Structures are given as C-alpha cells and as structure tokens.
C-alpha cells in the first residue's frame, strides 16, 4: 500500500536542486531499510537464513499483499509472505548447484578420458556393444 505511493513519489519527482536530490536519496535509503527489515522478519518467520530471501520478490510481492489487504484477506505482510499458499511468490530463493570450474589445461579432454578409462567406462561400453545382439551361429 505505501510502497506504491513511495515509488511513484520518488520516480516522478524531478528537481534540479540539491534538496530534491537529497530527498530522493533519503527516500530510497528509507525504503531499502524497510524492505531489509521486512525480509529479515520473513526469514525469521520461515526459520531460514536471510540470504535465502529474495529482496526483489519481497518488493514485487508487496503489490499482491496490497490487493489482499484491500480485500480484507491479509493484515500482516510477514505472515502473508510466509504463508504456504503464497509460495508462488518465490520469496525464498532456490538452492542451485555450484557452477563447474573451467579446466584451462591445454588438453582437458585427455584428462577426462584418462579418468573415465581408470573407472573402466570404456571397457564396459565395449563389452556391452559386442555382447548385446551378436550370437555366434
């Protein structure tokens, strides 16, 4: 509810004076502090570390909270974001696999092939290839 007014006030305020610029910077910092505090409260409610909460999705979810608030379905934004029926807002970041490190050696495929050979990969595939459908008559 208040985020819509704050963003529209900051977005459409144009001024060339130093006071206007200071006002925009101050309002941005204030909004960011409130957003951080809200995300921290959601993390506490979900018993997750703060790093797992997406600030962008909290910000985008304020629109949905505003509509629920106006319809009388929600009163507390923390409980709204923590509710299981609102998982589709993607407030919690997914855990991703670590990216593979880039092998910068001159012949990376040879190193990989020797590792596969050590595991017996090639012998198993050759045995399967020649023993599957060929019967001696």
pLDDT digits (tens, 9 = 90+) for 74-131: 999 999 999 999 999 999 999 988 888 877 877 766 656 666 666 666 555 555 555 5
Please give the mean pLDDT across all residues of the chain. Answer: 81
The pLDDT score that the predictor gives to residue 18 is 87
Would you say 24 and 9 are in contact if contact means Cβ atoms under 8 Å apart?
Answer: no
Domain-located, residue 133:
no
Confidence of residue 64 (pLDDT cuts 50, 70, 90): very high
pLDDT of 66 reads 96
Domain assignment present for residue 36? The answer is yes
Burial status of residue 62 (CB atoms within 10 A of its CB: 0-12, 13-18, 19 or more): buried
Contact 55, 45 (CB under 8 A): no
Q: What is the pLDDT of residue 75?
A: 95
Higher pLDDT, 24 or 113: 24
58 lies in a domain? yes
105, part of any domain: no
Sign of CA dihedral 68, 72, 74, 75: positive
The domain total for the chain is 1
Domain that holds residue 9: 2-89
For residue 132, being part of any structural domain is answered with no
Q: Checking phi first, is residue 103 left (phi over 0); if not, alpha (psi -120 to 50) or beta?
A: beta
pLDDT at residue 16 in the model: 79
In a domain, 17, yes or no: yes
């Amino acid at each position: 509810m208040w985020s819509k007014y704050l963003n529209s006030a900051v977005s459409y305020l144009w001024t060339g004076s130093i006071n206007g610029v200071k006002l925009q910077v101050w309002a941005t910092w204030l909004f960011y502090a409130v957003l951080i505090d809200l995300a921290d409260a959601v993390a506490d409610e979900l018993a997750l570390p703060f790093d797992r909460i997406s600030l962008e999705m909290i910000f985008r979810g304020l629109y949905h909270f505003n509509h629920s608030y106006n319809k009388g379905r929600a009163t507390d934004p923390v409980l709204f974001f923590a509710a299981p029926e609102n998982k589709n807002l993607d407030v919690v970041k997914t855990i991703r696999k670590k990216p593979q490190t880039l092998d910068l050696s001159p012949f990376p495929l040879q190193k990989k092939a020797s590792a596969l050979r050590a595991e017996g990969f090639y012998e198993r595939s050759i045995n399967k290839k020649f023993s599957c459908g060929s019967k001696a008559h």
